[in-house]
């Protein structure tokens, strides 16, 4: 039986704050890199912006809101939970998703590559508020979900590299052993509320009622 030894899985608040701080740092660095070193619109061909563009073409406010929530909750959030079933040297694999999204989000904002909006139409004050209440809340929600489900690991990998000779997973839990504490359930509820608020803000910006 393999035990969870990595300290990042010890304590809900600790792992949340650690991951949030790392994502904030990487997002800010990516923003500055994109702003100063990449051409405007550089990220418009990325999958993340492409999906946003497709969602923005929907015909009504309620349809766009529903699709946004399905993508965030039924797509990315569910992927986070599935990834957290796996650990590499005790590190939940779900940690990789918000980190990658933070970097991509920083690059998209830094290069003004949004699908349905132009940052130049907002002043710094308004733009910062929009950023925190849409992308910022979505990122926060993902991190809450990652932190809340970090202890749901069932499979342990000894290496990140498939060809290392130690990649084969070892199962140390079953589905019947998976449990969430009351605090972890609270994190999930808060995450859902943040997704809802961010989706409404984003949809209202594209399609005012």
pLDDT tens per residue, range 47-81: 777 776 667 677 788 888 888 899 888 888 899 99
What sign does the CA torsion over 56, 62, 67, 70 have?
A: positive
Residue 177 belongs to a domain: yes
Tally of domains within the chain: 1
Residue 50 belongs to a domain: yes
Residue 158 belongs to a domain: yes
**Tens digits of residue pLDDT in 108-158:** 888 888 766 666 777 777 767 777 777 889 999 999 999 999 999 999 988
Residue 131 belongs to a domain: yes
What integer pLDDT is reported at residue 4 of this predicted model? 45
Q: HSE on the CB side for 93, CA within 13 Å?
A: 20
What integer pLDDT is reported at residue 170 of this predicted model? 87
Residue 93 belongs to a domain: yes
Residue 163 belongs to a domain: yes
Residue 17 belongs to a domain: no
Residue 74 belongs to a domain: yes
Rounded average pLDDT over 37-51: 83
> Which domain range does residue 146 map to?
27-206
């Amino acid at each position: 039986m393999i035990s969870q030894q990595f300290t990042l899985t010890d304590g809900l608040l600790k792992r949340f704050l650690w991951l949030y701080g790392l994502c904030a740092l990487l997002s800010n660095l990516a923003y500055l890199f994109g702003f100063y070193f990449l051409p405007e619109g550089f990220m418009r061909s990325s999958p993340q912006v492409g999906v946003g563009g497709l969602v923005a073409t929907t015909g009504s406010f309620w349809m766009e809101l529903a699709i946004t929530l399905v993508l965030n909750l039924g797509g990315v959030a569910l992927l986070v939970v599935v990834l957290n079933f796996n650990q590499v040297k005790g590190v939940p694999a779900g940690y990789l998703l918000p980190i990658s999204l933070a970097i991509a989000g920083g690059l998209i904002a830094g290069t003004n590559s949004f699908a349905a909006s132009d940052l130049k139409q907002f002043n710094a004050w308004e733009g910062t508020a929009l950023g925190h209440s849409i992308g910022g809340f979505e990122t926060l929600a993902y991190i809450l979900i990652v932190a809340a489900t970090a202890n749901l690991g069932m499979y342990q990998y000894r290496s990140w590299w498939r060809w290392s000779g130690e990649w084969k997973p070892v199962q140390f839990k079953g589905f019947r052993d998976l449990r969430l504490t009351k605090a972890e359930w609270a994190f999930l509820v808060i995450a859902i509320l943040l997704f809802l608020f961010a989706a409404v803000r984003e949809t209202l910006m594209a399609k005012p009622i």
